[in-house]
Amino acid sequence: MDEKVNYLLRLGDNALILSQQLSQLCGKGPALEEDMALTNVALDLLGQTRMWYEYAAELEGEGRDEDRLAYHRDAHEFKNCLLLEQPNGNYADTMMRQFFFDSWHYFLLRELCASTDARIAAIADKSLKEVSYHVRRSGDLIVRLGDGTADSHAKTQAAVDDLWMYTGEAFNYDAVDHAMAAAGIAPAAATLRQPWLEHVAEVFAEATLTMPPADAWMQKGGKQGRHTERLGFILAEMQFLQRAYPGAQW
């Protein structure tokens, strides 16, 4: 697979899987405002998915469109980071997963706005407007949960400890990432890692949360198509209609 197509699929898969996870919480938010906010974030991510997939399909030139990429690939063909397929869990789990991703996503898109690929830069610029809100919102909620009651603090710290091992994969570059960085299409890992660590540390300090070591052991494999069993369940729900009734239209 072309390296740029692979990279675009990674971007689209990250947004799609998290969007699907958040959509499962529609009607289940802890408050009406939060329920609406989660749904809006899911819709933002879905819109970003479509733009990444549309470009990937054009470059691939195999006649696939965004729907084929979303609904007719098996789990091993998805390139999303493992963080995004972790369970919704309680609200602290959901928001910690969101915060870790939003923080990385924001710094990535900010750099992609200067990509040598004009199409990627345009998609990043459009997406950054949405993600700038996402990262502010999730950071604010982490502070409220971490510096709230003893119970909310304990659950939020547990979420940190459980999910931290999945945060390093985004910065673990392989041949695809290095090729994109060398071509000026995407930023180098070092450009993203330090700002991400600093932002997370700043929010955690305000939230009275303990930040695990930056050099802790990290899970990896999602970007290469090696996933947890959880992704299979996510895709089974998301892809059922198109798999059962191929080509069905409303």
Distance CA 163, CA 144 (A): 19
| Two tokens, residue 152 | 């909310």
| Two tokens, residue 199 | 């932002």
- For the chain, the structural domain boundaries read 3-244
- Full pLDDT tens readout for the chain, 250 residues: 699 999 999 999 999 999 999 999 887 777 777 878 899 999 999 999 999 999 999 999 998 999 999 999 999 999 999 999 999 999 999 999 999 999 999 999 999 999 999 999 999 999 999 999 999 999 999 999 999 999 999 999 999 999 999 999 999 999 999 999 999 999 999 999 999 999 999 999 999 999 999 999 999 999 999 999 999 999 999 999 888 888 777 6
Quick one: pLDDT at residue 67? 92
Quick one: pLDDT at residue 25? 86
Quick one: pLDDT at residue 1? 64
Distance CA 140, CA 136 (A): 6
CA nearest to 78, candidates 250, 232, 247? 232
Distance CA 191, CA 30 (A): 36
3-244: CATH number: 1.20.1260.10
Quick one: pLDDT at residue 31? 76
Q: What number of other Cβ atoms are within 10 A of residue 2's Cβ?
A: 12
Are residues 102 and 131 in contact, defined by beta-carbon separation less than 8 angstroms? Answer: yes
Full-model pTM: 0.96
Task: Assign 3-class secondary structure to the chain.
Answer: CCHHHHHHHHHHHHHHHHHHHHHCCCCCCCCHHHHHHHHHHHHHHHHHHHHHHHHHHHHHCCCCCHHHHHHCCCHHHCCCCHHHHCCCCCHHHHHHHHHHHHHHHHHHHHHHCCCCCHHHHHHHHHHHHHHHHHHHHHHHHHHHHHCCCHHHHHHHHHHHHHHHHHCCHHHCCCHHHHHHHHCCCCCCHHHHHHHHHHHHHHHHHHCCCCCCCCCCCCCCCHHHCCCCCHHHHHHHHHHHHHHHCCCCCC
Distance CA 56, CA 70 (A): 12
| Two tokens, residue 20 | 């699907």
Phi, psi of 174 (to 5 degrees): -115, -165
CA nearest to 126, candidates 8, 45, 66? 45
